[in-house]
């Protein structure tokens, strides 16, 4: 096992001149630039931050952005910040794409906010940030300071984090007068069942001193103050940084990303097959997940490992997560709960690879949301991730299926048994509605807890049958479909089981 001293590591360091001679050169260049004429329409003052929907204006490629002072709002380098030679910034020297760069694992609460805040403080040309929620005063102040010293700062925010439309407005107000530009995520990620849940930072993308961080952490105090378990990858690898930049550029202008970035990243929508393939790999697998949702393919892959699969979840899971966890335990999977810190990290450690990202184990996260993750085969990172997981595993409590929970889906008229399979559904009650149409029988949109029966009927169509069940003593109504079941408590959805 790798010692904790190797897990807790500082941020990846980037090159940059900070000696006396470089400072004198920068001061001289600044004096020269101060006397240069700035063309018509160019403003050096700080513009008010604005939050807008996507525009059709494309962002120029990072490596080809013009040097020197650009017009306010232009997608170019904003000047010659201190600590970097003017020759570098004037030419916009691109990173060497053949270089492997440096990559390391960051874990919270070990790393703290330093990797993020130091990367922002070191920015000399550009900052691109995509975040689900941004409330940390330290990050906000760091971005404001970067914009004030001439760095071009662009931020994409989720439009409805936690169904709270006031959150992005509060963030906008925090950046007022800073020159930081903010946009809401593309509208396709602002529905009831899809979100921009990605969390990544790109600093000086495409240039020699580039760095990027991606993972589970939101821009909030709880992500870094010890309240949460978080994980992230910090990297200077040119191909990874370029792929992240392509994703950011596409979402900034509300375009489809395309296939290119998927060669380097685990990208949602559409990451489900990649995650399942990783879970399917032979050998032991360790998973850390905040949410257990509608992801039957992932659970089948875990069940195939039996006791060689370990799953770590938060100590206060939802009713839906409790059901999935109990089913996994009955299939032989080891499941444990950690009460503190709160498990917000998203981690998969297979026998030969590691996944870190923003994806939860749910259909909406894997195939509807904007999510970003990375799989690495680095032996060093694998050892670090496994050591971190193992240390937390020893602190967690084993998941026990209680005697009243022997059958999660048992009919109220039957003795407890294992959960019914799709071919032998429990039909403790008589069918009360007609056979659904073929489209309703083969298409199952994502359902969230709390939907009413009318809302479910609108999305899934009428069920083929209705039965009754109990869960922890609570009566349930069960709608039966050819490839799934919907459980209602008090007239609203409490659990969804799908066979597809």
Q: What is the pLDDT of residue 164?
A: 61
pLDDT reading at 312 higher than 60: yes
pLDDT tens by residue, 34-61: 443 333 333 323 333 444 433 334 444 4
Q: What is the pLDDT of residue 241?
A: 96
**According to the per-residue pLDDT averaged within each range, which of 9-18, 162-171, 234-243, 415-424 is highest?**
234-243
Q: What angle do CA 370, 356, 281 make, to 5 degrees?
A: 105
The arithmetic mean of pLDDT across residues 219-231, rounded, is 91
Tokens 């996994």 sit at which residue?
328
Q: Is 492 helix (H, G, I), strand (E, B) or coil?
A: strand
What is the full DSSP assignment across 90-113? HHTPBP-TT----EEEEEETTSTT
pLDDT reading at 13 higher than 50: no
pLDDT tens by residue, 276-286: 999 999 999 99
The arithmetic mean of pLDDT across residues 287-311, rounded, is 94
The arithmetic mean of pLDDT across residues 162-172, rounded, is 72
pLDDT reading at 71 higher than 50: no
**pLDDT band at residue 416 under the 50/70/90 scheme:** very low
Q: What is the pLDDT of residue 187?
A: 82
Q: What is the pLDDT of residue 195?
A: 83
pLDDT reading at 78 higher than 50: no
Buried b (16+ CB within 10 A) or exposed e, 380-391: ebbbbbbbbbee
pLDDT tens by residue, 454-489: 989 988 889 999 998 876 567 889 999 887 888 888
pLDDT reading at 33 higher than 60: no
pLDDT reading at 432 higher than 60: no
- Say which residues have a Cβ less than 8 Å from residue 383's Cβ, sequence separation at least 6: 2, 6
Q: What is the pLDDT of residue 120?
A: 97
Q: Which two tokens stand for residue 147?
A: 């914009």
Q: What is the pLDDT of residue 43?
A: 30
Q: At what angle do helices 319-330 and 296-305 cross, to 10 degrees?
A: 30
Q: What is the pLDDT of residue 192?
A: 65
pLDDT reading at 68 higher than 50: no
**Judging by DSSP bridges, how do beta strands 126-131 and 152-157 pair with one another?**
parallel
**According to the per-residue pLDDT averaged within each range, which of 34-48, 248-262, 408-422 is highest?**
248-262
Helices (H), 65-178: 86-91, 114-122, 137-148, 166-174
pLDDT reading at 66 higher than 60: no
In this structure, of 67-76, 160-169, 377-386, 449-458, the range with the lowest mean pLDDT score is 67-76
The arithmetic mean of pLDDT across residues 381-397, rounded, is 96
| Residue 25, number of CB atoms within 10 A of its CB | 17
Q: What is the pLDDT of residue 476?
A: 86
Q: Bigger pLDDT: 485 or 194?
A: 485
pLDDT reading at 3 higher than 50: no
Element (H, E) at 468: strand 465-471
Q: Is 158 helix (H, G, I), strand (E, B) or coil?
A: coil
Tokens 């962002």 sit at which residue?
59
What is the full DSSP assignment across 393-445? HTTSEEP---GGGS-TT-BTTS---SPPPTTS----S---SPPPPHHHHH---
pLDDT tens by residue, 342-368: 999 999 999 999 999 999 998 888 988
pLDDT reading at 76 higher than 60: no
Q: List domains and CATH numbers for the chain.
A: 4-31+47-264 (3.30.870.10), 272-398 (3.30.870.10), 411-498 (3.30.1450)
Average pLDDT along the chain? 75
- Say which residues have a Cβ less than 8 Å from residue 499's Cβ, sequence separation at least 6: 296, 422, 483, 484
Q: What is the pLDDT of residue 162?
A: 63
Q: What is the pLDDT of residue 314?
A: 92
């Amino acid at each position: 096992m790798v010692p904790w001293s190797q897990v807790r590591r500082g941020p990846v360091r980037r090159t940059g001149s900070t000696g006396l001679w470089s400072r004198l050169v920068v001061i001289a260049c600044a004096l020269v630039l101060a006397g240069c004429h700035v063309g018509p329409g160019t403003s050096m003052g700080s513009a008010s931050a604005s939050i807008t929907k996507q525009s059709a204006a494309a962002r120029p490629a990072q490596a080809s952005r013009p040097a020197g002072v650009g017009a306010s709002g232009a997608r170019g380098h904003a000047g010659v910040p201190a600590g970097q030679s003017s020759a570098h910034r004037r030419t916009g020297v691109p990173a060497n794409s053949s270089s492997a760069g440096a990559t390391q694992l960051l874990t919270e609460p070990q790393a703290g906010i330093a990797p993020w805040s130091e990367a922002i403080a070191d920015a000399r040309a550009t900052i691109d940030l995509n975040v689900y929620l941004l409330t940390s005063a330290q990050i906000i102040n760091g971005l404001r300071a970067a914009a004030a010293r001439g760095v071009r700062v662009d931020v994409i925010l989720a439009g409805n984090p936690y169904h709270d439309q006031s959150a992005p407005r509060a963030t906008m107000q925090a950046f007022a007068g800073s020159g930081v530009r903010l946009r809401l995520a593309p509208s396709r990620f602002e529905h009831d069942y899809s979100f921009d849940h990605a969390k990544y930072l790109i600093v000086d993308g495409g240039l020699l001193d580039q760095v990027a961080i991606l993972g589970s952490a939101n821009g909030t105090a709880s992500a870094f103050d010890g309240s949460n378990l978080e994980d992230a990858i910090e990297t200077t690898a040119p191909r990874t940084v370029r792929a992240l930049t392509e994703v950011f550029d596409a979402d900034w202008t509300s375009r489809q990303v395309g296939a290119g970035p998927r060669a380097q990243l685990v990208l949602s929508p559409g990451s489900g097959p990649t995650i399942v393939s990783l879970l399917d790999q032979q050998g032991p697998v360790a998973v850390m997940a905040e949410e257990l949702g509608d992801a039957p393919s992932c659970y089948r892959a875990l069940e195939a490992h039996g006791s060689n699969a370990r799953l770590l979840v938060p100590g206060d899971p939802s009713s839906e997560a409790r059901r999935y966890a109990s089913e996994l335990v009955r299939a032989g999977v080891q499941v444990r709960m950690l009460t503190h810190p709160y498990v917000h990290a998203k981690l998969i450690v297979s026998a030969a690879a590691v996944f870190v990202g923003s994806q939860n184990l749910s259909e909406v996260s894997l195939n509807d949301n904007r999510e970003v993750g990375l799989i690495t085969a680095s032996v060093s990172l694998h050892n670090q991730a496994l050591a971190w997981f193992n240390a937390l595993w020893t602190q967690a409590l084993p998941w026990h299926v209680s005697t009243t929970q022997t059958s999660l889906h048992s009919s109220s008229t039957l003795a407890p048994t294992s959960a019914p399979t799709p071919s032998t559904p429990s039909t403790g009650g008589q069918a009360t509605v007609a056979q659904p149409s073929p489209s309703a029988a083969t298409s199952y949109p994502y359902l969230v807890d709390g939907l009413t029966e009318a809302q479910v009927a609108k999305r899934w169509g009428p069920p083929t049958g209705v039965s009754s069940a109990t869960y922890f003593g609570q009566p349930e109504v069960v709608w039966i479909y050819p490839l799934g079941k919907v459980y209602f408590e008090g007239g609203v959805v409490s659990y969804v089981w799908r066979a597809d």
